[in-house]
Each structure stands twice: as structure tokens, then as C-alpha cells.
Amino acid sequence: METKESYAVITGASQGLGKAFAENLAKKNINVILVSLPHQNLKELTEELEKNYSIKAHYYEVDLSLHDNVMKLTAWLNQSFEIHILINNAGLGGTKKFTEASSDYINTILQVNVTATSLITHQLLPNLLRQSKAYILNVSSMAAFSPIGFKTVYPASKTFIHSFSRGLHEELKDTNVFVSVVNPGAMKTNTDVCKRIEKQGFLGRLTLLNPDKVASYCIHQLFKKDSVIMVNPISWLIMKILPIWIKLPLMTQAIKREIEA
């Protein structure tokens, strides 16, 4: 693939899985555009990638929960770059009793996870279709396969991402744009996250993953044109086999332990 003058766009790129995606793509000599919230050391990461790898790197700081911001971002991308990879990684989780969640809290999760992912994909698709080969990778979650109490909105938003990705893959299968979705479990992004997941007990520990390994595997599978990437087959199997009346209370209980701890 000729990538000298084309770019990969990664949202939520400042840390965790998004940062790992950026580093893994840079290792493959693919130019990157990093998108994340302000004050996340995005400039430093961009400079580091350019210094360590023979690539071009740009960054854009933005709050994707605001519609106008998403449209300004995509307008800038389309005006400035040829894009052959889009990784929609930005997403918000959250563990809270639904009765204690504010309307802003609920709206922000939906705007980032559902609306921003859909709009960014929609606005950048003509650009992707111009390329000889192009790829879209949407980051869903193992949570897409079961509702979970005390999370409520998050699993529902990830179910949307999974369904959206599968539908778009089918719609674009005769074009040059390949669409894939990955459904990882929790990531070892920092000490706090690891401690929080540990409190969920066995189920939480079972799905805890290394971001760099996940990113590397995802990129490998994306270029192999794997439309549904499963990075943790054990937890996926459990989610598929267990009936809803077992896994729903089981997973809810694990999240409740996290809240109480």
C-alpha cells in the first residue's frame, strides 16, 4: 500500500488502546493523525512518534461530545489530508447507578460513543472511498454482547457500534473500503483501571488485556480483512454460550462489587 502521502486517523489517541494503535501504525511507516481531548499530552506524543519513526504525525485536540466540534474536525481532515485508515477508538465508559447519573453524563456517553463515531465515519467516507485501499476499524467491547446493570448506557452504546459496523461492512463490501469491528475486554491502561477491574472478581480479571498486544493483533487482522476481530476468545465464548438470564445478573453483580469497593 502506498502510504507516503496518506494518513491513518485515530480518535481517543492520547492513551491506552488509542496510543497503542498510533505506535503500532507508526512502526509500519504509516502516517498518523491523533485526535483526543485537550490537555492529554497529544503534542508530545505526536513529536515522539515523528522522532522515533520515519513518518509524519499531526494532532487535533477536541471534545467529540459536541456536534459542531465533530463537523469542524472532519472538515479539517478532508481539506488537509488523504485518509486510508480510520480507527474510531474514542469512547466513554462509566460505572454508576442510573438513578444517580446526571443527564449530562448520559448524553456525553451517547454523543461520544454513538453519534461521534457515526458522524466521523460518514463525513470521512468519501475521502476513504477515493483511496486505492482503505480501512475502517471501530472499537466496540465485550459489553456489546450483554446488558449490564450499573453500566446500562455503555453496553447499549457498544451494541450500537457492533451492529453499525457489521451493517456498514455489508454495505461497502463491493468497494475499496473494508470495515471491521473489534470487541475487546477491559484494558490495562493504568494502575487505577487495573485495581478497579480486579475488584470485579474473576469475570473482570478474565477480560483484562494488554493494549499494545490488542492494537498489534487488531492491525494485523484488519489488514487480513477480518470483519469481526476477537482478541479474547475465552471471554467471547463465555458471553456467547451463557444465556442472558445467567450472564446479566452475573456481570451486574461483578460491577456492583466494583461500586461497593
pLDDT in tens, 88-138: 999 998 888 999 999 999 999 999 999 999 999 999 999 999 999 999 999
Q: Per-residue pLDDT for 191 more than 80? A: no
**Rounded CA gap, 183 and 144, in Å?**
8
CATH number of 6-191+209-233: 3.40.50.720
The least confident of 13-17, 74-78, 168-172, 193-197 is 193-197
Catalytic residue numbers, as ranges? 154
- What integer best gives the mean pLDDT of the chain? 90
Residue type, 25: L
In DSSP notation, 76-141 reads HHHHH-EEEEEEE---------GGG--HHHHHHHHIIIIIIHHHHHHHHHHHHHHSSSEEEEEE--
Identity (one letter) of the amino acid at 106?
I
Q: Please tell me the pTM assigned to this model.
A: 0.89
Which grid coordinates are listed for 143? 459489553
Report whether 32 contacts 55 (CB < 8 A): yes
User: What is the domain partition of the chain in residue ranges?
Assistant: 6-191+209-233
R_g over Cα of the chain: 18
Q: Let me know: does 73 contact 115? Beta carbons within 8 Å.
A: no
Distance, in Å, from the CA atom of 254 to the CA atom of 196, rounded to the nearest integer, reads: 11
Q: How many Å apart are CA 1 and CA 150, to the nearest integer?
A: 45
Is the model's pLDDT at 1 over the cut of 50? Answer: no
